[in-house]
Amino acid sequence: MKNLAFLNNKILKGNAKAANVFLLLTLLTACDHPAQNLSQEVLSNLDKSYPSQAGGTLIDAMIGEPSGLISMIAGESASSAISSNIFNRLLKYDKNLDLEGELAESWQISADQKTITFKLKPNLKWSDDMPLTSADILWTWHAVIDEKTRSPYASDYQLVKKTEAPDPLTFSVTYEQAYAPALDSWAGLQILPKHLLEGQDLHTTAFARNPVGSNYYKLDSWTHGENLKLSRNPTSVLGQAKIDNLVTRIIPDSSAQFLELMADNIDSMALDPIKYARIIPARPELKQKLALYKELGNSYTYMGFNLKHKPFDDARVRRAINYAIDKQEIIDGVYLGLGINIASPYKPGTRWSNPDLKPYPYDPARAKALLQEAGFIDSDGDGVLERDGKPFSFEIITNQNKEREKSAVLIQRRLKEVGIDVKIRAIEWASFISRFIKTGDFDVVVLGWSLGLDPDQYNIWHSSQQAPGQFNFIGYNNPTIDKLLEQGRLELNPDKRMKIYHEFARVLLDDSPIVYLSAGYGLTAIHKRVKGIDNPAPPAGIGWNSYDWYIPEPLRRSEAGRNEIAEN
């Protein structure tokens, strides 16, 4: 989940086009500005071959600032993007999406598939030089399931009925029943230091802004609203990364990020479709220094209803809105065709995505008929439907993300055509999460889900996952869905499991608690001075081996350039 700055919800289509033309001209003009931190000699040598070597600083940008660096609480991509460089997990996925050990040297599964025993690598240490042992993993498990923690990930670990840490290098978990996503769950939990956190409130601890981890990097500084700076951790349990320092700048607007990218002040950023498909390809000097990457990720954008608010508790209303929205218009107009119309919450083309399901077509006549069936009429001829004397009017909220904001404007226009009055509000990320999402104080949201590799989506859709801070914040409650999710996480036969999740997706599509808007592509630009990136990307994506990325010494920023960045 990420963010940007907002279109006025009164903007007309013609004005939107004018705004885009103005933005394009501004960006193209900015391209003529000279690079501030990289010499012309550096820029002319980008395509040369260089041996891998340690050193240098990589600078990227983030739209939303993390709420904290304890990911089991934050539950957001901004937090995970930083904390994954600082903390380790028991297991991880390799470039081919096969599991391998991270803190674990090996693991064994019992014959009844209920117990997993992990053996840790020897001589593990935290960055404060204290030993990392099975006691830390046991403590982390207790922390994630603690009701006071209110972790949205707790359900994965609450199924463990017994844990043991008989010696510093052994940790075992036993489940009541064989649990299909068990190994995947231990590839997701970042292990925390018991000696620093025991007895503390994870929601208020200073550790969340000043963490001690065990991974490739440690946090050097965090300047609120400006940047987070990481440096190589000399006691990293996985050895040493190639790049000395990682700097993440907080730049809440993607256009401002792009200006910094063009001026060589940052090395990478996520692109919107206009920049990826039009601006960079049209500028030879940008093509010369930027490498572009396009990946269909395991994520999607959606419009979600607060099912505790009327009239969204009526499935006919939800289906009507689904028919009233032209998804292909959003994909073509907002994402320039760089998206896929979907009908299930799984990555298209995978075994979990039900091939028999079709997206709701754009059918305003069907939408009007369903709304009439649900009791909505235009009694006074003003073009807005009413029921029980109340106009059908609601507010869409989203975070400051250009694509989501533009999508909301198109949704607003289409819903007006069927008699629904929609207002739009975009909110800064931290406030959006804390003030609205965690409290459930909204009518409708436009957001996105980034999903794991296992098909289990219990913590998003199960009715038990509705407490503040948990992921079922739209208040979905469907006994059929609950039963399928419970069955799916306990079924070990992959073919039977696939059928369960195909049925889960079918019921979900019919019930329409959300409107799938698009499965989008991850679009990334990385400066060519950064080497060691797999291209084409393996199944795990381009970032799978970021610890092996390197910046050859001849291509590094000058000392003056680094100082200038440090002062910004």
DSSP string of 114-154, one letter each residue: -EEEEEEPTT-B-TTSPBP-HHHHHHHHHHHH-TTT--TTT
Token pair 């501030």 in the structure block, residue: 36
* pLDDT higher than 90, residue 408: yes
What is the percent of the chain with per-residue pLDDT over 70, rounded to a whole number? Answer: 91
Give the max Cα distance, the chain. 76
CATH topology of domain 50-69+209-296+523-567: D-Maltodextrin-Binding Protein; domain 2 (3.40.190)
Q: What dotted CATH number matches 299-521?
A: 3.10.105.10
pLDDT higher than 80, residue 25: no
Query: Cis omega (within 30 of 0) on the bond before 536?
Result: yes
401 with 35: CB under 8 angstroms?
Answer: no
Q: For the chain, what are the domain ranges?
A: 50-69+209-296+523-567, 91-206, 299-521
Proportion of the chain above pLDDT 90, given as a percent? 80
- Could you tell me which residue, 21 or 406, shows the higher pLDDT? 406
pLDDT at residue 21 greater than cutoff 70: no
Contacting residues for 40 by C-beta, under 8 A, at least 6 apart: none
- pLDDT tier, 79 (very low <50, low <70, confident <90, very high otherwise): very high
**Stretch 372-389: mean pLDDT:** 94
Nearest to residue 47, comparing CAs of 533, 529, 525?
Answer: 529
Average pLDDT over residues 381-410: 95
Q: Which residue, among 332, 217, 269, 220, has the nearest Cα to 2 in the 3D structure?
A: 269
Mean pLDDT within 446-462: 93
pLDDT for 397 equals 97
Q: Which of 528, 531, 533, 530 is nearest to 543 (CA)?
A: 533
- For residue 231, list its beta bridge partners: 218, 245
From the list 305, 330, 333, 334, the residue with the least C-alpha distance to 320 is 305
pLDDT at 541: 87
List Cβ neighbours of 36 (8 Å cut-off, separation of 6 or more).
263, 264, 265, 561, 564
Judge whether residue 523 has pLDDT over 90: yes
Residue 207 has pLDDT above 80, yes or no: yes
What average pLDDT does the chain have? 90
| Angle, CA 471 vertex, CA 468 and CA 476 arms, to 5° | 95
Predicted pLDDT at 37: 58
For the domain 91-206, what is the CATH superfamily, name and number?
A: Dipeptide-binding Protein; Domain 1 (3.90.76.10)
Q: Model confidence over 208-257: pLDDT tens digits? A: 999 999 999 999 999 999 999 999 999 999 999 999 999 999 998 889 99
Query: Does 480 have pLDDT greater than 80?
Result: yes
Pairwise pLDDT comparison (49 vs 561), residue with the higher score: 49
Range with lowest mean pLDDT among 6-15, 306-315, 473-482, 552-561:
6-15
Predicted pLDDT at 451: 86
Following DSSP, what letter does each residue of 488-503 receive, concatenated? HTT---HHHHHHHHHH
168 within 8 A of 131, measured Cβ to Cβ: yes
pLDDT reported for residue 3: 29
